[in-house]
Structure 1
Amino acid sequence: MSISAADSPSIRTLIAQVGSIAEVDIRTQDRLSEDLRIDSLDMAALLLDIEQFYGVVVDGPTVQLISTVGQLEALVGKSLGGRP
């Protein structure tokens, strides 16, 4: 069950929590794996958080296409009708 997207933490907040990164250090162009050191277990946790808070399920093939913070934000935003 998801809560309202308006009440949900931002994607960057979720990334910061999962990756133990300061949110202010996360930039749109940062690569999740290379720059932020989000490994496969962190990514799985992040995707579960996105599903819980936003109700957006990211399937396996789509996950392979996401490499940056901006791409992840755009995917969630598009799934929510343009409002991440």
Structure 2
Amino acid sequence: MALKITDECINCDVCEPVCPNQAIFQGIEIYQIDPARCTECVGHFEHAQCVEVCPVNCIPLDPDYAETPEQLQEKYRRLTGGDA
């Protein structure tokens, strides 16, 4: 499942640089996550890095983009060409 940033975002700028897939970008008002690039850090880290660093806990799972761990792993492979 991709993650999403809610409107509780305070634009603190800590999530964007920790995303290994460059899935996070500055939107019109708050940061946003591109679900096509978000793997919840599968293949890179044990835990989603944006969730770990967010000071206001505004990055939940996005129910509109439900994915299994296997699908997230496959997305990681497509994005990186990696085998992890």
Q: TM-score category by the smaller chain?
A: 0.3 to 0.5
Structure number with the higher strand fraction is 2
Structure number with the higher helix fraction is 1
Q: TM-score under structure 1 normalisation? A: 0.33
